Structure 1
């Protein structure tokens, strides 16, 4: 039975997002999906640039519908002292502040971590940047592509005889965002066990928990995913290289092409799985070869093993190959496009698509929220908002009256 929608495990947690594009906004997106009250600050003159990225509907990116779901959009001119003051007030009320500007930008606006911590010791600030808040490169611009390159991912991606390739999504930014979410949750836990939330209106009577800064560098987040790269080089002098679709040193695990031109991934690298795979493709000789019984014996004969599997695949359609290997309990899968996903029984059974609508009634499907929590699942309350849609709501909550809000709009502050 599917769990019923809930307020979410982060209900009551206030988040202020000061950032654009991918890393910071993806980090706060996940918090919003699980119930946090996220206020996103955007520039009045166009907002977050991602609003105009990739495929558009009526001038706004379809990506925006996902990246900013459940967030409240507030426009602020951060070059104006009044905009900075509003941001400061929002920051002091927030449990978590997420930002992905270059180091020093928030300090220039008077809302850096140390300035906020001096007033609110429970401040948790997640800072995502290309190179982190320290070091000789901290002031350089750093996008996800640079983080992927410096962190080691690009070097090992692609085929050995060709230049490194980009993974088909902004994986460096997304991995950094996930590190930001993990850091925020650990910091929130530490704050709660050391005293809890700060409430400035209670002044000295409040025992505030200890906040902290979560310093996330894009290149370090990618580097953190690089498995055994460091010990292999340090101890054995091995530099991991590009190997195409194969998993080096773990045999067989590769991409193979079927007779109808489709590509499948076969992971037959477990010892028992390898034997089942060889029997399934009619290579009893390999299945019963004692030299191939263990992975360390198979590695020197990688080309021979891959050749046998490819020859078998080339003589069959993808449906036939999948049926045979699945019946033999061999891990195998087609390489999916989004078209495949949208009609796949597993995706549908797991309810991996949500149906929503634009303001004009046009339907739009979004990816469902993950991970799936049994008692407090995530929920899409609304798709990405219009620019400044929540200005009045958020400013009224800060004590601004309608006349003041109108003046701020007239002056270009919001």
Structure 2
């Protein structure tokens, strides 16, 4: 087995990122992921992100990788019947429509479990399948706001900022993946499938550390603090002589001692202002100023080498060019080069995490729209060429 999930078949319904990124992770680890897309236009991700002059998306080859694309009009009775037939041979149904949409189509959990009691139904939505907000539309950015991430991100004297990626969507997809794998494992004991209800705002809330407890017990509300966390020092980005920013994390007592030695100031390790974690937190600003003055005398590569010699966690601020040129990335195959229909061989992040026995693989980049109609609808469901021609004529498939 090259992937741990090679015996798992997933029907992916839904669009954009939170649901499809879950499908991407399952496909990376060997699952057969059959993605259902609207005829004619497909998933909007086919047109999102940076694109070439010909309008081809550079995001779709990544999020669509390893999946089989079929086109089905889910708003038609015939299209819904095709889904029912696919579900009978599937292990997972993955969707991220607004709650109630599957039920409106006659494809709710009760109907699907009547066809296949072992089916795991993974549902991704803004607010979850229940509660007073459940019917409201919710994108990743809204989940980030409600879950507390947006308020705590950015500089304190500015409006809340955001990260440079769709972190709310990807966090939810990761929790949806974890939930799906948990449900599949439980099925081995019980023989029954179940619902996985992954909400955007709850997925963000889940990574907000002790935010709620700090407020309830101590009345403390976390605020925006820019590039550092209050009372965790030193842990910040510092300037270098060649105009770069270098991240240093020396907040643990033993690491701080080694950093002081690297700075040529071993006396700082025992200075009462800096000797303990709490003391360094109380003197965070002056400590950052002192370290900045030191790092500004060194080029980034020289600083990196010196800190590594003293076993101080540190790192350069990488962009795509640095990642593609880095020897450690190459040694661990962190970047995969994958053939694509539109761009030739292209780089993308490889499968994570790394499993020793079943490492998974990226078998192909995002497929063409409806590329696997004949393979899935014909080969898997047994529809004849005449059946497929009629479905095309009726506008049920592309």
TM score, norm. by length of structure 2: 0.96
The offset of 1:360, in angstroms, is 6.4
In structure 2, what is the equivalent of residue 260 of structure 1? Answer: 242
Q: State how far apart, in whole Å, the 2-side matches of 1:217 and 1:362 are.
A: 37
In structure 2, what is the equivalent of residue 304 of structure 1? Answer: 286
SS of residue paired to 2:229: coil
The offset of 1:330, in angstroms, is 0.8
In structure 2, what is the equivalent of residue 215 of structure 1? Answer: 197
- 1:11-26 superposed matches below 5 A: 11-26=6-21
In structure 2, what is the equivalent of residue 156 of structure 1? Answer: 152
In structure 2, what is the equivalent of residue 400 of structure 1? Answer: 383
The answer to whether structure 1 residue 366 and structure 2 residue 313 are counterparts is no
Specify which of 21, 44, 48 is matched with residue 49 of structure 1.
44
Deviates more, 1:244-253 or 1:149-158: 244-253
Q: State how far apart, in whole Å, the 2-side matches of 1:99 and 1:278 are.
A: 52
Is residue 96–residue 125 contact of structure 1 (8 Å, CA) maintained in 2?
yes
The offset of 1:380, in angstroms, is 1.2
The offset of 1:161, in angstroms, is 1.2
- 1:110-129 superposed matches below 5 A: 110-129=106-125
Q: State how far apart, in whole Å, the 2-side matches of 1:282 and 1:243 are.
A: 29
The offset of 1:170, in angstroms, is 0.5
Specify which of 54, 59, 72 is matched with residue 76 of structure 1.
72
SS of residue paired to 1:155: coil
SS of residue paired to 1:154: coil
The offset of 1:106, in angstroms, is 0.5
Structure 1 residues 272 and 360: CA distance shift in structure 2, 3 A? closer
Q: State how far apart, in whole Å, the 1-side matches of 2:159 and 2:396 are.
A: 47
In structure 1, what is the equivalent of residue 394 of structure 2? Answer: 411
Is residue 8–residue 378 contact of structure 1 (8 Å, CA) maintained in 2?
yes
Is residue 264–residue 335 contact of structure 1 (8 Å, CA) maintained in 2?
yes
Q: State how far apart, in whole Å, the 1-side matches of 2:245 and 2:62 are.
A: 29
Deviates more, 1:172-181 or 1:323-332: 323-332
- 1:14-413 superposed matches below 5 A: 14-57=9-52, 58-194=54-190, 209-359=191-341, 362-396=344-378, 397-413=380-396
The offset of 1:366, in angstroms, is 2.2
SS of residue paired to 1:60: coil
SS of residue paired to 2:315: strand
- Tell me how many residue pairs correspond in the alignment: 395
TM score, norm. by length of structure 1: 0.93
Structure 1 residues 45 and 375: CA distance shift in structure 2, 3 A? same
The offset of 1:361, in angstroms, is 7.7
Deviations 1:295-331 (A, max 9, x none): 0121111111111101111222212221221111111
Q: State how far apart, in whole Å, the 1-side matches of 2:298 and 2:348 are.
A: 35
The offset of 1:291, in angstroms, is 4.3
The offset of 1:287, in angstroms, is 1.8
Structure 2 gaps of 5+ residues are none
SS of residue paired to 1:131: coil
Deviates more, 1:105-114 or 1:241-250: 241-250
SS of residue paired to 1:107: helix
Kindly report structure 1 stretches of 4+ aligned residues shifted beyond 6 Å.
none
RMSD over equivalenced CA pairs, Å: 1.3
Q: State how far apart, in whole Å, the 2-side matches of 1:293 and 1:315 are.
A: 24
Q: State how far apart, in whole Å, the 2-side matches of 1:47 and 1:345 are.
A: 38
Q: State how far apart, in whole Å, the 2-side matches of 1:376 and 1:289 are.
A: 51
Is residue 39–residue 74 contact of structure 1 (8 Å, CA) maintained in 2?
yes
The offset of 1:56, in angstroms, is 2.4
Is residue 21–residue 49 contact of structure 1 (8 Å, CA) maintained in 2?
yes
